[in-house]
């Protein structure tokens, strides 16, 4: 059913978002597709506050659908807050996931098998599953947690529906794989979170798409690939202060790496490690409630694992000057 729904989405985009339908397009503010699967309601968010001047019309068999991603002003009292809508790039390969995967799929030979890695609530796994199917590559997803299966949540069910073969291993074995550089698997290795040199270059495009340098740049962090790519693209002595909100508890290795990178270029980096709500894949009822309030007032949905935590950080922090929040996407099943 999920595959059918996604096919309907692509058809809808081609028919209704043609460059010849500017009048109709101007009336479209937000669209949700809701469907019932195993007694649960799943929502796929398609678009919000799009404008024909920033929307790139694509064929139904192409993605991403919307680049460069638009920069929107959030009309909140007392704030000069802007949000770069990388979440609009694609419903599944959203935000930084396409930025990371673009270069990786360009270096593959036709039909080359892939093995990738992630947690049960990883946005990377469904993005990689969709992209692998689209480009015709068999893919294995190695999942952290031997007690899990393909029916544990909607993200894993979606990965399997796209043809990803799931392998579940213990957390200790997953940690060992990470420390050993993801060795021992066949095919081309796509590291956890889509990290790698291709990811740094792709994420650097986020910075290059900004017309000017804001006073503050705020974004969520998991493996730090997005933060690192942006820092690599920023000029030395840049005035913009970078705020990385870690969705992972105790990510000391990642923190150290990006702090050294920022210091080498004389860029101010603030690493926020106190708003992870217990760690990756964890959140609280209060966080979910605040995310709903934000969506109701702005029309912009937030996933609780990454961007919901960024919003919690921004609510608790007073930042002077122009603030740009990089909405890194996140699929909500």
Q: How confident is the model at residue 249 (pLDDT cuts 50, 70, 90)?
A: confident
**Is residue 147 a part of any domain in this protein?**
yes
Contact assessment for residue 4 and residue 37, using Cβ atoms and an 8 Å cutoff = no
**Is residue 251 a part of any domain in this protein?**
no
Q: How confident is the model at residue 265 (pLDDT cuts 50, 70, 90)?
A: very high
What pLDDT, on the 0 to 100 scale, is given for residue 77?
A: 87
What pLDDT, on the 0 to 100 scale, is given for residue 52?
A: 28
**Is residue 222 a part of any domain in this protein?**
no
**Is residue 189 a part of any domain in this protein?**
yes
Digit-coded pLDDT (tens) for 130-171: 999 999 999 999 999 999 999 999 999 999 999 999 999 999
- The answer on pLDDT for 302 being more than 60 is yes
Task: Tell me the average pLDDT of the chain.
Answer: 81
**Is residue 183 a part of any domain in this protein?**
yes
**Is residue 275 a part of any domain in this protein?**
no
Query: Which token pair is 296?
Result: 């109701």
Scanning the structure block, which residue is given the tokens 């019309």? 57
Q: How confident is the model at residue 279 (pLDDT cuts 50, 70, 90)?
A: low
- Domain span at 188: 109-194
**Is residue 131 a part of any domain in this protein?**
yes
CATH code of the domain containing 142: 3.40.50.1100
Mean pLDDT to the nearest integer, 64-82: 88
Task: Encode 288-308: b = buried (16+ Cβ within 10 Å), e = exposed.
Answer: eebbeebeeebebbbbbbbbb
Distance, CA of 198 to chain centre:
16
Instruction: Give me the number of domains the chain comprises.
Output: 1
Mean pLDDT to the nearest integer, 279-296: 84
Indicate the SS3 state at residue 62.
Answer: coil
> What pTM was estimated for this model as a whole?
0.74
**Is residue 103 a part of any domain in this protein?**
no
């Amino acid at each position: 059913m999920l595959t059918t729904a996604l096919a309907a989405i692509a058809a809808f985009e081609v028919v209704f978002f043609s460059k010849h339908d500017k009048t109709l397009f101007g009336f479209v503010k937000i669209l949700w597709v809701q469907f019932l699967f195993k007694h649960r309601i799943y929502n796929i968010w398609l678009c919000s506050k799009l404008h024909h001047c920033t929307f790139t019309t694509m064929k139904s068999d192409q993605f991403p659908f919307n680049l460069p991603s638009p920069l929107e002003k959030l009309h909140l009292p007392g704030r000069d807050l802007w949000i770069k809508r990388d979440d609009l790039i694609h419903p599944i390969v959203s935000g930084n996931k396409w930025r990371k995967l673009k270069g990786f799929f360009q270096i593959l030979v036709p039909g080359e098998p892939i093995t990738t890695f992630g947690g049960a609530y990883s946005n990377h796994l469904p993005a990689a599953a969709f992209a692998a199917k689209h480009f015709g590559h068999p893919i294995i997803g190695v999942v952290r947690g031997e007690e899990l299966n393909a029916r544990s949540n909607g993200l894993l069910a979606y990965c399997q529906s796209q043809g990803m073969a799931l392998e579940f291993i213990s957390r200790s074995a997953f940690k060992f794989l990470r420390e050993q550089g993801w060795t021992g698997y066949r095919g081309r290795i796509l590291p956890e979170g889509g990290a790698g040199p291709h990811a740094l270059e792709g994420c650097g495009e986020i910075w290059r798409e900004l017309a000017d340098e804001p006073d503050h740049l705020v974004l969520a962090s998991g493996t730090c690939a997005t933060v690192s790519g942006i820092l690599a693209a920023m000029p030395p002595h840049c005035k913009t202060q970078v705020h990385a909100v870690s969705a992972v508890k105790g990510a000391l290795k990642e923190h150290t790496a990006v702090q050294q990178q920022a210091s080498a270029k004389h860029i101010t980096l603030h690493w926020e490690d106190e708003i992870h709500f217990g760690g990756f894949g964890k959140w609280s009822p209060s966080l979910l409630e605040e995310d709903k309030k934000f969506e109701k007032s702005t029309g912009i949905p937030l996933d609780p694992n990454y961007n919901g935590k960024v919003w919690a950080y921004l609510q608790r922090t007073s930042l002077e000057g122009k603030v740009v929040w990089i909405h890194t996407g996140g699929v909500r099943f």
